[in-house]
Amino acid sequence: MPFTAVIEYCKNTGLYVGYVPDFPGAHSQGKTLDELNRNLKEVLEMLLEDGEPYLDTEFVGTQQIVTS
């Protein structure tokens, strides 16, 4: 079952950080994108095994929010 992950690179830590919007609380990090992908896959498999509910959402896009 495919899930979409949002991935960012943290310059402060030098780590890739990712989360899965369909699974609140499903997040991980890794030194490389491959490591992050493995870590997120492991988290998702554990959540699915535990029967955790997930949201059935569809990615729409990103948007810049400007504050004053």
DSSP state of 53: -
pTM above 0.85, yes or no: no
At 54, which CATH number?
A: 3.30.160.250
DSSP category for residue 31: S
Reduced DSSP (H G I as helix, E B as strand, rest coil) percent helix, strand, coil of the chain, to 5? 25, 20, 55
Question: Which structural domain, as residue segments, surrounds residue 65?
Answer: 1-68
pLDDT in tens, 31-63: 999 999 999 999 999 999 988 888 888 888 889
Query: Residue 24's closest CA among 58, 50, 55?
Result: 55
Q: Is the pLDDT of residue 24 over 90?
A: no
Provide the pLDDT for residue 10: 97
What whole-number distance in Å separates Cα of residue 4 and Cα of residue 6? Answer: 7
Give the HSE-up count for residue 19: Cα atoms under 13 Å, Cβ half-sphere.
Answer: 7
* Total count of domains within the chain: 1
